[in-house]
Structure 1
Amino acid sequence: MAAFAQTLNGIPYKYGSVDPNEGFDCSGFISYVFNHFGIAVPRTSVDFTYMHHEVDLKDAQTGDLILFTGTDSTLRVVGHMGIVLATPGQEMRFIHSTSGHDNLGVTETPMNSYYKSRYVKTVRVFEVGK
């Protein structure tokens, strides 16, 4: 799943879109990747808040979803998300579609201080080993 997500690097950001020919918003990117594998997931980032398979950030594995607040981190409501890319012994990073000024569109980002301040939770869509 992560390898497929990485093939989408560079697709531009487009609010409300799940179409790779036009671009993705953050949850549209997640929906597109999971739907490619026949896995149904919520369409909006806030709906991922209610997934029950929460894991500690330190236990995050490739393919887990990482949830963040929107750009106003004082509102602790999920407004952004990505797919964890975990490599043992290296800093965790994630792939997401961002409207940020530096990397507009699908990109890989390290779990830096900006995203740590916006972190809400990590969820596992499916159990490991199943």
Structure 2
Amino acid sequence: MKILQYTLLLLIAVGFLSYKHEVKTKALAETSIVKTTLPDTTKRFNIIQFAKQHMGIPYIYAQANPKKGFDCSGFVNYVYKHFNINVPRSSSGFKNLGRALKPSEFKVGDVLVFYGYRDKNSVGHVGIVCEANGMKSKFIHASSGKEMAVTVSELGSSQYTKRFYKCIDPLSL
């Protein structure tokens, strides 16, 4: 019985210290020096937190400015630029970029690349994985669809599954 009690206390202590570390790390992430040296999982968490701060900003073609709006690649470029990670400004620039990941390898912070809505031969849309679950992952993106804003969608929905081209890890570029 005492072993169980000690184990429970230890788990609570570890959980508290983890939480305290996460809060401290999140606060430190606001400085550009720390942005480039954070562990991979913390950096990925911070990328998504930053991206979600822009939910609802309108979709505007050829924009990458939170005060005006975003197109899909402008949004992805803006988010990663905040973390000193260079990605293309145009969705077509993602076509030959990086190694295509298997669905089981998708991680939060990876970039999903899609064929165009009308042109099935060229890349036309990108978004950032915010909940990794293979082909059922959720992603945040500037949608030109009915939302016309930065929103979260499911890769598993038919409109995105049929247009899916690949997923890449921009942190490994």
**Is the 1:66–1:81 Cα contact (8 Å) retained in structure 2?**
yes
Counterpart of 1:10 in structure 2 is 56
In the alignment, the residues of structure 2 paired with residue 45 and residue 113 of structure 1 have an alpha-carbon distance, to the nearest angstrom, of: 20
Deviation at 1:51, TM superposition (A): 1.1
User: How many percent identity over aligned positions?
Assistant: 38
1:52 lines up with 2:90 in the alignment: no
Deviation at 1:57, TM superposition (A): 2.4
Count of aligned residue pairs for this structure pair: 124
1:126 lines up with 2:148 in the alignment: no
TM-score by length of 1: 0.89
4+ long deviations beyond 3 Å: none
Deviation at 1:53, TM superposition (A): 2.5
Rg larger in 1 or in 2? 2
Q: Mark the runs of 5 or more structure 1 residues left unpaired by the alignment.
A: none
Superposed CA RMSD in Å reads 1.6
Counterpart of 2:150 in structure 1 is 106
Higher helix proportion: 2
Aligned counterpart in structure 1 of residue 161 of structure 2, from 99, 102, 116: 116
Match runs of 1:74-89 below 5 Å: 75-87=120-132
Higher relative contact order (CA 8 A, sep 6+): 1
Counterpart of 1:66 in structure 2 is 112
Match runs of 1:9-48 below 5 Å: 9-48=55-94
**Is the 2:106–2:132 Cα contact (8 Å) retained in structure 1?**
no
Q: Mark the runs of 5 or more structure 2 residues left unpaired by the alignment.
A: 1-46
Q: What do residues 58-86 of structure 1 show as CA deviations (whole Å, max 9, x unaligned)?
A: 3211000001111125x221100100112
**Is the 1:8–1:106 Cα contact (8 Å) retained in structure 2?**
yes
